Amino acid sequence: MIKPIKLKINSSSVKDFKEGQPLITEAALKEKHVLKEQGAILELLDEKGQFVAKGYYGIQNKGIGWILTKDKHEKIDQSFFERKLKQALEYRKSFFQDLSTTAFRVFNGEGDGIGGITIDYFDGYYLINWYSEGIHRWKKEIIQALTKVVELKGLYEKKRFANKGTYMDDDDFVLGEKSPCPLIVKENGMNYAIYLNDGAMVGIFLDQREVRKLIRDKYAKGKTVLNTFSYTAAFSVAAALGGAKKTTSVDLANRSKAKTIEHFQMNGINDEEQDIIVEDVFQYFKYAVRKGLKFDMVILDPPSFARSKKHTFSAGKDYPDLLEQAIQITEKHGIIVASSNCSTFNMKRFKDFIAKAFKATGDQYKIHEEYQLPRDFKTIKEYKEGNYLKVVFIEKIS
């Protein structure tokens, strides 16, 4: 492998790394001109040349690499990755024993000790997500480590480091046998269709598992439910199975309708009794206000950033306005499920958005539940940005 590069770091960063900060930024380095080939191992030294930590060089969003160990003598090789994977699998042992759920995360980046990579499990098939060219340089060692510690039916990968973390559209199959298309997985007894080799997204966001269960088991019965930015309508499926009176799923993508119908049908739900609308969510809000439509539950789970012909949405800036529009079409004592996966603001700031929106409409509200990432999406307190998910169940009081 590439010879380690010794780099001195700023005194303020020494303390951060010793306390467990896993992300290496340019600002932490005294010199960066020596960084050329991603994947290189970095030995970080204090101003006196004393060892602080060891990591790798890999450009990802705001960082240029991740800390891997604070042990000077620990080698970064296949055995290192095997140890990390075994620890991650042991932590999730109970998930493999739960027959009602066959899709979950088995390795969550820096939460499991290796930033820049996640691994998901889909009923015997594994999917590796690579978030930088740097960690992808270790592909051979990581895949060999994975195949030593698990029995897998097949392995897929997604490279998400082309342009600002975007997905590289390649053949995603790596080894083993190819999965059925779709691959049907279970989540708390619900069925979902997974496509492992069909673009950047596979058909379901695993981090919302607990939220879908709560909607099904506690909030949906007898309710009219509007699911916005619905994608493949996983929330709508949960609501319908929970006894919702009717679901309305709205998404701008044309392919969302066929995916939604597929999900309804594989769960024994009559799709013709549900509304499936291909439209810009913001335009639908205007339509709903114009027609006087109101819902008992409105689910808001927009992407962090989205652009249509008429709208550009940025969660950090526009979420209060989005929520304001949702409040207008929510019945009195109705529930709004407000969700965001944007990592640039925390739960406290998200609650400020909620307060701002309700102040603008003049309505009162009560927060019933709040969620962040589930247990399989392991995070560490030293890197708060890693716990990106924020979900709040809000009752509109008046």
The domain boundary, picked from 27, 47, 69, lies at 69
Q: Is residue 260 part of a domain?
A: yes
Q: Is residue 222 part of a domain?
A: yes
Tell how strand 330-340 and strand 295-300 pair up.
parallel
Q: What is the CATH number of the domain that holds 135?
A: 3.30.750.80
Q: What is the CATH number of the domain that holds 274?
A: 3.40.50.150
**Is the domain of 52 the same as that of 149?**
no
**Is the domain of 248 the same as that of 389?**
yes
CA 123 to chain centre: 19
Per-residue pLDDT at 73 exceeds 90: yes
Q: Is residue 292 part of a domain?
A: yes
3 state SS for 4-48: CEEEEECHHHHHHHHCCCCEECHHHECCCCCCCCCCCEEEEECCC
Phi, psi of 322 (to 5 degrees): -60, -45
The domain boundary, picked from 162, 188, 214, lies at 188
Q: Is residue 197 part of a domain?
A: no
**Is the domain of 173 the same as that of 209?**
no
**Is the domain of 391 the same as that of 255?**
yes
pLDDT score of 189: 98
As a whole number, mean pLDDT of residues 57-75 equals 95
Q: How does the average pLDDT of the chain come out, rounded?
A: 95
Model confidence pLDDT, tens digit, residues 313-326: 888 999 999 999 99
pLDDT score of 308: 74
User: The tokens of 378 are what?
Assistant: 């392991």
pLDDT score of 165: 53
Tell how strand 224-228 and strand 190-194 pair up.
unpaired
**Is the domain of 36 the same as that of 166?**
no
Q: Order across the sheet with 63-69: list the strands.
A: 5-8, 41-45, 51-60, 63-69, 23-24
Q: What is the CATH number of the domain that holds 65?
A: 2.30.130.10
Q: Is residue 309 part of a domain?
A: yes
**Is the domain of 9 the same as that of 126?**
no
Which amino acid, 64? I
**Is the domain of 61 the same as that of 86?**
no
Which residues form the domain of 33? 5-69
* Residue among 299, 302, 283, 301 at smallest CA distance from 291: 283
Model confidence pLDDT, tens digit, residues 180-209: 999 999 999 999 999 999 888 999 999 999
pLDDT score of 229: 96
> Which residues fall within 8 angstroms of residue 102, CB to CB, at 6 or more apart?
121, 122, 123, 185, 186, 187
**Is the domain of 112 the same as that of 48?**
no
Model confidence pLDDT, tens digit, residues 80-108: 999 999 999 999 999 999 999 999 999 99
User: The tokens of 382 are what?
Assistant: 């030293």
As a whole number, mean pLDDT of residues 101-125 equals 98
Per-residue pLDDT at 310 exceeds 80: no
Q: Quote the radius of gyration of the chain (alpha carbons, Å).
A: 22
**Is the domain of 63 the same as that of 87?**
no
∠ CA(202), CA(341), CA(375), 5° rounding? 80
The C-alpha atoms of residue 66 and residue 70 are separated, in whole angstroms, by 12
Model confidence pLDDT, tens digit, residues 258-283: 999 999 999 999 999 999 999 999 99
Confidence tier at 163 by pLDDT (50, 70, 90): low
Task: Work out how many domains the chain is built from and give that number.
Answer: 3
pLDDT score of 245: 98
Helices 255-266, 234-241: axis angle to 10 degrees equals: 30
pLDDT score of 154: 98
**Is the domain of 386 the same as that of 277?**
yes
- pTM for this predicted structure: 0.95
The domain boundary, picked from 69, 90, 108, lies at 69
**Is the domain of 63 the same as that of 130?**
no
The C-alpha atoms of residue 262 and residue 245 are separated, in whole angstroms, by 20
CA 393 to chain centre: 19
Burial of 185 (0-12, 13-18, 19+ CB in 10 A): buried
The C-alpha atoms of residue 353 and residue 337 are separated, in whole angstroms, by 14
pLDDT score of 260: 98
User: The tokens of 97 are what?
Assistant: 């024993």
* Residue among 322, 335, 327 at smallest CA distance from 223: 335
**Is the domain of 240 the same as that of 277?**
yes
Specify the higher pLDDT residue, 210 or 30: 210
* Residue among 107, 93, 178 at smallest CA distance from 146: 107
3-state secondary structure (DSSP) of residue 300:
strand
DSSP readout, 99-143? Answer: TT--EEEEEEGGGGT-TTEEEEEETTEEEEEE-SHHHHTTHHHHH
Q: Is residue 347 part of a domain?
A: yes
Confidence tier at 305 by pLDDT (50, 70, 90): confident
Q: Is residue 318 part of a domain?
A: yes
Q: Is residue 136 part of a domain?
A: yes
